[in-house]
Structure 1
Amino acid sequence: MVRFGLTVVRHGETRYNKDKILQGQGVDEPLSATGFRQADAAGLFLSNVKFTHAFSSDLLRAKQTAAAILGKNRFCKDLEIKYDARLRERKYGVAEGRPLADLKAMAKDAGEQCPSFTPSGGETLDEVRERAKDFFEFLCQLAVELEQKEHGKPGAPGRSSGTSGEQFVFPWTNHCSEAEPSSEGSGSSTVLDANILVVSHGAYMRNWIGYLVSDLNCTLPANLTKSQLSSVSPNTGVSHFIIKLENGNLLKPIITCVCLNQDSHLVDVGAECVASKVF
């Protein structure tokens, strides 16, 4: 059984986020002062989670967020962040750099709903989902290869089965409806072949989570509403998943969502925590 943790975080706020201007891929805006505070708060929230890998979109707002999160981590300050273009925000074509209201007006003129409308030069939702699917399959393959590598070492401990109980400390228990399964103690059930941090973008993440739920039958927290599922994560919202691959089967992952778009760490940051459903 291959088992890995996946923590997905949206980047911190930018000036364009605050002003409800579409960034997409063509506007590479840095974090605002509030965005840096949000990223630091997310880092403190995740400070006791021992990540084995960190991936980020190669856009500046995501890169800065990932660096801030790892900078607050007790175990992973020096962990290499790998930048991947597959994690970029949805491309909005001619709508990039323009107010969200303009995109809504374009969709209305075309007789379409805003979330599914594709501006000229932009990506379709299917194209975004294909990027997300490709990246998720890459993560599953990575976890399988790590498990195979460790399994091939006689007497070698698992990647996360060391003597330090600290690496099993997860923050989900006090903030989410479901705790990390068997997150306390050091029994075999706590072993993760990888524990992966991913920093990406709002519309991309919504499409990715939609893929996990609709295509891969991801199990969701019992109290999650349809509105919460369809909403875009707030800036630095945290989602956490456990993925199991029986016999290394990449085609049928068993996915459990422990928490979705968790934002309790933002209470004292002073920014809006509720995101628009369309952004």
Structure 2
Amino acid sequence: MVRFGLTVVRHGETRYNKDKILQGQGVDEPLSATGFKQADAAGLFLSNVKFTHVFSSDLLRAKQTAATIIGKNKFCKDLEIKYDARLRERKYGVAEGRPLTDLKAMAKAAGEQCPAFTPSGGETLDEVRERAKDFFEFLCQLAVEVEQKEREMHGAASRSSGTSEEQSVFPWTNHCSQPGLSSDNGGTSKILDANILVVSHGAYMRNWIGYFVSDLKCTLPENLTKSQLSSVSPNTGVSHFIIELQSGSRLEPEIRCVCLNQDSHLVDVGAECVAQKVF
């Protein structure tokens, strides 16, 4: 069995986020001062987690967030961040650079509702989901290859015994409603073949999580409401998943959501943490 951790973080705030202006892919804004503070807070929150791989959208707001998070990490300061266009925000076409209210007006004029409405030149929700699916399958293959390489190098016996220095200190047990994770209940204290950090965008992440839930039957925290599931993550919100691939197969992975859009690290930042539901 291949088992890996996946931590997904939304980028920090930009001035366009604050002003409720759509960025999509065509507006490449840097983080605001608040956005950097949020990224710092997320980095401290994740500072004791030993990541094996880091991926980020190649848009500036995500790149800056990923670099800040890794810069705060106790184990991974020198880990290479790999940029991937598949992690970009949903493309909003003619609505990019315009207020969110304009998108809503476009949708109303077309007799549709956000977020299902696709402005001219934009991506459909299905197209975004296909990007997310393609990237997730890439991660699964990556985890399989890492496990195979580890097995070849050290053998099954030495790997199964594990070593204490390979363990990460995960913060979710203190901040999420899930019971404390342990090796007895399939939690994060078991050896992971890979532990992957991904930094991306709000609408993209919501579609990705929707794919996990609707297509892959991801197990969710018991107290998660439908509203929480449909909402976009706050800036630098953290979601964590454990993925198991039976017999190294990428087909029908078992996914458990440990926490979704975690934002306790933002309490002292002083930023508005409630994201707009349409994007």
* Contact residue 159 and residue 193 of structure 1 kept, 8 A: no
> 2:176 maps to what in 1?
176
AA aligned to 1:46 is L
Tell me, in whole angstroms, the C-alpha distance in 1 between the residues paired with 2:29 and 2:256: 33
Tell me, in whole angstroms, the C-alpha distance in 2 between the residues paired with 1:161 and 1:23: 44
Q: Do the aligned partners of residues 180 and 9 (structure 1) sit closer, same or farther apart at CA in structure 2, a change above 3 Å counting?
A: farther
Q: Point out the more displaced range, 86-95 or 188-197.
A: 188-197
> 1:144 maps to what in 2?
144
> 1:20 maps to what in 2?
20
Q: Do the aligned partners of residues 189 and 259 (structure 1) sit closer, same or farther apart at CA in structure 2, a change above 3 Å counting?
A: closer
After TM superposition, the structure 1 = structure 2 runs for residues 1-279 of structure 1, keeping only pairs within 5 Å, are 1-155=1-155, 157-158=158-159, 161-164=162-165, 167-179=167-179, 181-182=181-182, 190-279=190-279
* Contact residue 181 and residue 188 of structure 2 kept, 8 A: no
Tell me, in whole angstroms, the C-alpha distance in 1 between the residues paired with 2:263 and 2:87: 21
Q: Do the aligned partners of residues 208 and 188 (structure 1) sit closer, same or farther apart at CA in structure 2, a change above 3 Å counting?
A: closer
CA shift for structure 1 position 72: 0.5
Q: Do the aligned partners of residues 170 and 102 (structure 1) sit closer, same or farther apart at CA in structure 2, a change above 3 Å counting?
A: same
Identity %: 85
| 3-state SS, counterpart of residue 168 of structure 1 | coil
TM-score by length of 2: 0.95
Deviations 1:57-91 (A, max 9, x none): 00000000000000100000110000000000000
Q: Is there any run of 5+ residues in structure 2 with no aligned partner, and where? A: none
Deviations 1:21-64 (A, max 9, x none): 00000000000000000000000000000000000000000000
CA shift for structure 1 position 183: 6.4
| 3-state SS, counterpart of residue 174 of structure 1 | helix
AA aligned to 2:165 is S
* Contact residue 2 and residue 244 of structure 1 kept, 8 A: yes
| 3-state SS, counterpart of residue 232 of structure 1 | coil
Q: Do the aligned partners of residues 179 and 85 (structure 1) sit closer, same or farther apart at CA in structure 2, a change above 3 Å counting?
A: farther
* Contact residue 170 and residue 180 of structure 1 kept, 8 A: no
Q: Do the aligned partners of residues 174 and 183 (structure 1) sit closer, same or farther apart at CA in structure 2, a change above 3 Å counting?
A: farther
CA shift for structure 1 position 278: 1.1
Tell me, in whole angstroms, the C-alpha distance in 2 between the residues paired with 1:176 and 1:17: 26
CA RMSD of aligned residues (A): 1.9
TM-score by length of 1: 0.95
CA shift for structure 1 position 177: 1.4
Q: Is there any run of 5+ residues in structure 1 with no aligned partner, and where? A: none
* Contact residue 182 and residue 188 of structure 2 kept, 8 A: no
* Contact residue 7 and residue 241 of structure 1 kept, 8 A: yes
* Contact residue 238 and residue 261 of structure 2 kept, 8 A: yes
* Contact residue 48 and residue 74 of structure 1 kept, 8 A: yes
* Contact residue 160 and residue 192 of structure 1 kept, 8 A: no
* Contact residue 7 and residue 240 of structure 2 kept, 8 A: yes
* Number of aligned residues: 276
Tell me, in whole angstroms, the C-alpha distance in 2 between the residues paired with 1:207 and 1:3: 23
